[in-house]
Structure 1
């Protein structure tokens, strides 16, 4: 990531734990959601198998069982990564954003203070909501009214949990200085 963003380059602050035989099923469920491989994030979560299992279920629901359009979900996740200086999260999601139809110009624009000229109305609302709920926690009434007029109640719930969930992910990653996958760091 560029600018003042955190770039973890060495090993994470905690070592990867040995997975006890009783917890192997948790690791298997996590690997299955990821296509067979555990990420560094997953491996660190296995210090607490119950937390890892709940995390996997929540993030799996947000990524694979949500009604929210994929481009909107990935824009929210990438914007959280930018706002919270989470290089791992950025690298892990930029290709997913591209697959969801987000352009490279839009991905680059997520670093701008006002990226609004690069996005359509729904995307802009998602970014405004992400900024408001990440920076100030409280969402201004006018913004919420605009979101409510554009999105279903289910989409609003899924969007807010996506923003909050990936804020949790970014805080975990940054605090433990988890390096990006394969050590990659870039602005897009």
Structure 2
């Protein structure tokens, strides 16, 4: 089992300017009007690809708070085979994968699919959100940030 080399909170203290810059980049897309649930899905998918345990857990928690159904969160990793995703979500997830796995390049088909669902401005902000989560993943993986704990809720009685 790996141990944290540094924690998320250490990053805030050690490099507040870098922290604020990455945080700002990540917030632009939501402030531009992109759906926050959609943004959590793309952040979750990029974090899965990059193997960032901290970010996977963080974005699951954030998505749950926004009301994203648990079955959708469970199936992000296999979104192509799952019927729960809209065409807009599918385009965003394909765009996220292409930008996260740059060695494969960003093909014309993926670009055209994204352009069919997002305006020029939206796609630019979506790209900034993907770039931001990939930056966060680099820090989370490099320093092995400890994933955040979920808030525990009282168990629901069986009926």
The TM-score, its normalising length taken from structure 2, stands at 0.81
**Kept after mapping to 1: 8 A contact 2:28/2:125:** no
Detail structure 1 runs of 4+ shifted over 6 Å in the superposition.
Answer: none
Aligned to 2:99, which of 120, 133, 138? 133
For 2:20 and 2:77, the matched residues in 1 are separated by: 32
Summarize the alignment of residues 4-43 of structure 1 with structure 2, pairs less than 5 Å apart: 8=2, 10=3, 12-14=4-6, 40-43=7-10
SS at match of 2:116: helix
Structure 2 counterpart of 1:66, from 32, 42, 60: 32
Q: What are the ranges of 5 or more consecutive residues in structure 1 without an aligned counterpart?
A: 1-6, 15-39
- For the residues of structure 1 that align with 2:91 and 2:23, how far apart are their CA atoms? 27
Any idea what SS the aligned residue of 1:46 has?
A: helix
2:19 maps to which of 52, 56, 68: 52
Q: Does the CA-based 8 Å contact 1:91-1:181 persist in structure 2?
A: yes
Q: State the aligned residue count.
A: 150
| Cα offsets for 1:136-185 (capped at 9, x unmatched) | 3521112211211221112101111111110110111011111111399x
1:115: how far off? 4.0
Q: Deviations over 1:80-132 (max 9, x none)?
A: 11111111111111132123342111111122273443311111111111111
Where does residue 142 of structure 1 map in the other structure? 109
**Residue 59 (structure 2) pairs with residue 93 (structure 1):** yes
User: What residue ranges of structure 2 are gaps of 5+ in the alignment?
Assistant: 152-159
Q: What's the RMSD between the two structures over aligned residues?
A: 2.3
Greater helix percent: which structure?
2
